[in-house]
Each structure stands twice: as structure tokens, then as C-alpha cells.
Amino acid sequence: EVRQLAGQAVGELTHLGDTTGIVIFALVTGVTAAVGYRLIHALGRVASVICALAFVYLGIRLLERADLGTLLADRTFDLPLFLLAISLSASWQLAFGPYVADYSRYLPRTTSAKATFWWTLGGSALGSQWSMTFGALAASAAGGAFVGHEVGYVVGLGGAGLIASALYFVIALGKLTINVLNTYGGFMSLVTSVSGFRGQAALSSRGRAAYIAGIMVAGTVVALLGKDSFLTSFKDFLLFLLTFFTPWSAINLVDYYLIAKERYDLPALSDPHGRYGAYRWQALTVYVIGLVAQLPFLSTHFFTGPLVGPLGGADVSWVVGLAVPAALYWLLARRDTSHVPDHTILAPEPGPEPAPERGVSPTVRVKETP
């Protein structure tokens, strides 16, 4: 969905159309992700300032053009739509889980858990709620002119000519930042999984490029297939993420706070012969049960569960996806806690040699070719 909006922006900026815009955006994303960690952080710092200023400007322009009193006067309450809004917001917030897992590992060891939690929550919640509120007001003010022309309408709020070109660029820049993070995070997850089972200690820059290219091709194909129905695709995509993330989140939280009680052997997490083994069959089984339990309550464009109708069209699958796995995993996992260490075991301090390329896993070194 990021690629679809960015493709609209790049297509308008280059006058080459959405399809070409999506492809260009994918190529730039792939190159940026392949360069690596430091460029991603530099891009994020620049984009954060530029995008925040542009967003404030667009917010002011929206309030100038829209009749806010009329928009807020409509107080019609629709329970299914209300639950859908909660589902989309929850999926957005839960989707930040991998970001935290991927990038919190680079924080200094002296960083407190409280600081990590509140800065992460503040940044993700403020940004998402601000943008979602803006989007809801813009869609209400635009009416039928919004669907299919989301980027064009938002840019039109700011003006025409050079201002419009600048705003298209800012939108593409903001989407580039998050899409690079998505691509790099997917790359790290794949490499960590593969290296953990193969005992691989190094990954060449060619290998990194191959992983990233595969991720980009898959994402670009999905974006091209859904480019003509963004809002429907976006809603279904977020609900799709929510379906898979909620059981995973429930199991992780129960394990962390109730089973392991914040005690882990970190080096053993990457060792298939360690105390945790190659698989935790209890967790995998509960995860599958959590996925299946959600299906009767799931409401998307391509699948609607049998219990959605009796509930008035409301999608409550994510509530089931949190409650069922959490309760079931707690009942199963508490029977055997022999794998839980008495205290947290950290990875050894790095030696005097340069640290591996950041962004793969604590056990994988990325070889740089000259």
C-alpha cells in the first residue's frame, strides 16, 4: 500500500503514470536498502523534518478549505464502522512490533526499558493518529473526489505548480523512508531465520542484494495488482496484517511477562541446538489455532467469515486473535519452564574488531565487497 501511494506521487511528479511510478519507487527503495543501515538513518532524519513541516502546512490548508463544523456535526454512530476503525488502528500499531524488534537491538545497553517504551509509543501513536485524523477529515471533505485520487487531492490542498511538485516529492520521500525500513526489516527477518538453521556466520553483499531484490519484486507485484483500488486494498492489507500479527503478539507477550518473566538466554535464540531448540512446537501450534479461530469473524473484500453477518457486519477477529492464543499458550507453556534461565543471559561484548554490518542479526556478519 505504501508503494501504491508513492507510485501515485512519483507518477504525478514525473508525468509517467502510476505503473511507472511504482516501478521507479521500487528501484530507488531497493538501492537504498542495499546500501544499508547508515544511509537509512540519514534518510530518516532528513525526511522526518521535511515531512513534518509539509504535513503541518497541509493541515492548515485543509482547515482553511473544509467546513470543520459541518464535518463534526455528523454524529451518526455505526458500530461495524467503529469496530473497523479500531481494527485498522490496532493493526497499524501492532505492525510496529517488528520495527521495535529489529532496531531496538542497536540501542546502548544503558537505555532503560521505560525510555524505549514511551519514545516508541509516543512516536508511533502520535504520527499515526495525526495522519489518520487528517485522512478522515480530508476524505469526508472531498466526498467522492477522494477515492482513487488520494494523493492528488491531498496535494491539491497545498496548491499548484512548484508547490504541488514539492508536495509530490515530499510524499514520495516520506513513503521511501518507511518502505526502506519495511524492506530492510524483511531482509533481516529472512536472513535471521535462514542463518539460524544453517549456522551461517556471514552473508556477502551480493547475498544481501539478492534477498532485497526478491522482497522488492514481490512487493511491487502486489502494488501493481492493487493500484486501481487503493482504499479497498489498504483496508484488506491492514486486516490481513492484523490477522497474522495478533496471535504472534499475544504469544510473545504471554511468554515474555508470564512464562519467562523477562528472562531469556539471548545467544541461545540463534542456536538451534541451544536450550530453546530449533522450534517451540507449543508456540507454533497455538499460533495456527489463533489464525484459524479468527476466520469466522474476519471481514475482508476477498473473504467474509460466517459469524460476521450475525454481528452486524462487525469485524472482531483481532479480539479473538488476541484472547484465544494468549489463554491457550499460557495454559500449555506454564507446565514446562525448564528452558527458562534463572536470569537474562546477554550476548558477549564485541571485541576490538569492527562490528558487523548492522541490520542482519547478532549472529550474521555481512561481508562488504570492494
Output the pLDDT for position 359. 44
Please choose, from the candidates 275, 269, 282, the residue with its C-alpha nearest in 3D space to the C-alpha of residue 339.
Answer: 275
Output the pLDDT for position 61. 92
Output the pLDDT for position 287. 96
Please choose, from the candidates 341, 336, 185, the residue with its C-alpha nearest in 3D space to the C-alpha of residue 263.
Answer: 341
pLDDT digits (tens, 9 = 90+) for 347-366: 776 555 444 444 444 444 44
Q: Is 175 helix (H, G, I), strand (E, B) or coil?
A: helix
Where are the alpha helices (H) located in 66-149, listed in sequence order? 68-73, 79-94, 97-103, 113-142
Supply the DSSP string of 206-224, one letter for each residue.
Answer: HHHHHHHHHHHHHHHHHHH
Output the pLDDT for position 316. 86
Helix 317-333 and helix 230-254, axial crossing angle in degrees, nearest 10: 20
Contact 339, 276 (CB under 8 A): yes
What contacts 24+ positions apart, CB below 8 Å, involve 95-100?
95/238, 95/241, 95/245, 96/120, 96/124, 97/245, 97/248, 97/249, 97/252, 98/185, 98/189, 99/181, 99/185
Contact 40, 181 (CB under 8 A): yes
Please choose, from the candidates 330, 356, 339, the residue with its C-alpha nearest in 3D space to the C-alpha of residue 268.
Answer: 339
pLDDT digits (tens, 9 = 90+) for 188-218: 878 877 776 666 666 778 888 888 999 888 8
Output the pLDDT for position 356. 45
Q: Give the angle subtended at the CA of 259 by the CAs of 255 and 264, to the nearest 5°.
A: 75
Q: What is the pTM of this model?
A: 0.70
C-alpha to C-alpha distance for 333 and 259, rounded to whole angstroms: 7
Q: Give the angle subtended at the CA of 68 by the CAs of 66 and 72, to the nearest 5°.
A: 135
C-alpha to C-alpha distance for 252 and 102, rounded to whole angstroms: 15
Output the pLDDT for position 350. 56
pLDDT digits (tens, 9 = 90+) for 4-29: 677 778 888 888 888 888 889 889 99
Q: Is 284 helix (H, G, I), strand (E, B) or coil?
A: helix
- In the chain, count H helices and then E strands: 13, 2
Chain center to CA of 230:
17
Output the pLDDT for position 367. 42
- Which residues of the chain register pLDDT less than 70? 1-4, 101-103, 148, 196-202, 228-235, 349-370
Q: How far is CA 26 from CA 19, 156, 203, 246, in A?
A: 11, 25, 23, 28
C-alpha to C-alpha distance for 100 and 307, rounded to whole angstroms: 34
